[in-house]
Structures are given as C-alpha cells and as structure tokens.
C-alpha cells in the first residue's frame, strides 16, 4: 500500500486552462451544425483568429476548394464563411478502404467586436487558405499617451 502521493500543484490548472480556452472560443467563434438537403451533418473549417494593433486576421483552412465555392459575408456583426466542398469522383476500379476527409456544406460564424471598420474588410484565397483582414476603426486603435 502506497501511503505517499506526489503533490503536483499545476495538475489542476490544465482543466482550468481548457475551460478558459473553451469559453474564449465560444465568445468569438462558433460553428453551427446545420444539415444539408438530405439531412446530413455539415462540417466547419478550422480557423485561426489573430489581433494586431490595426486589425483582426482570420485564416480558414479550405483545401481542395476554389474561391468560387466559398462565400464570405458580414451579417449582424458576424463574419460568416460558408460554401460546399464537392466530393471527388469515385474510381470505378478502386474500393474505398478509409475515408477521413469531409465533403459537403460547411458553415462558420465569427462574432466580431463592434470596433471594426466593416467597409474595409478584405478577403483573399491562396493555396487552400482563406485569409480575411478586418480593420479596426481609428478610435479602437491603441494610442500612446505622453506623460508630462
């Protein structure tokens, strides 16, 4: 019987960090689970959101797609990314052993702060990565205050 247990003070922090990350994700990014016409579940692309002094940058991985298959719009201060990734044609002389890639409709909604300049949002698509730049309004940018 082991009477001594090792004390690990940081062990409980891992769960706290996971919970904080989940709350932050819920605050800014949501992935709505819709269904397509056949009632099948849709998928949501992985996104990164970064903040600089002048703007917010959102990057979404959408490999195997073209820019014409992707829609980006602003609606009620939410940046909405949606579209459809079409399944590849099956080869008649091959049988599928494993399928992990997701096809079909996708939807992603990102709540933006009220301090963005929605008239200057820019989006580009290159090498399967959608990059959206959302500038901040001038009043939201940090200002250095001189001490007298």
Phi, psi dihedral angles at 63 (to 5 degrees): -65, 150
Please report the pLDDT score of residue 101 as a whole number.
80
Please report the pLDDT score of residue 33 as a whole number.
47
Within 10-56, residue ranges assigned H as helices are 11-28
SS3 36: coil
Grouped pLDDT means (10 residues each) for the chain, 148 residues:
62 68 59 48 83 94 94 93 86 82 87 90 97 89 82
d(CA 51, CA 113): 11
Please report the pLDDT score of residue 31 as a whole number.
46
Cα 129 to the center of its chain, rounded Å = 12
Top CATH class, 31-87+102-140: mainly beta
């Amino acid at each position: 019987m082991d009477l001594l247990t090792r004390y690990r003070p940081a062990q409980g922090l891992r769960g706290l960090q996971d919970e904080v990350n989940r709350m932050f994700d819920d605050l800014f990014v949501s992935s709505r689970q819709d269904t397509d016409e056949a009632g099948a579940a849709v998928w949501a692309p992985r996104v990164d959101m970064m903040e600089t002094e002048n703007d917010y940058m959102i990057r979404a991985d959408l490999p195997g797609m073209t820019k014409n298959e992707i829609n980006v719009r602003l609606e009620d201060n939410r940046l909405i990314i949606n579209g459809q990734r079409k399944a590849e044609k099956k080869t008649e002389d091959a049988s599928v052993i494993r399928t992990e890639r997701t096809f079909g409709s996708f939807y992603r909604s990102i709540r933006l702060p009220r301090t963005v300049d929605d008239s200057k949002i820019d989006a580009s698509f290159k090498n399967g990565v959608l990059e959206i730049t959302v500038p901040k309004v001038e009043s939201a940018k940090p200002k250095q205050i001189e001490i007298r």
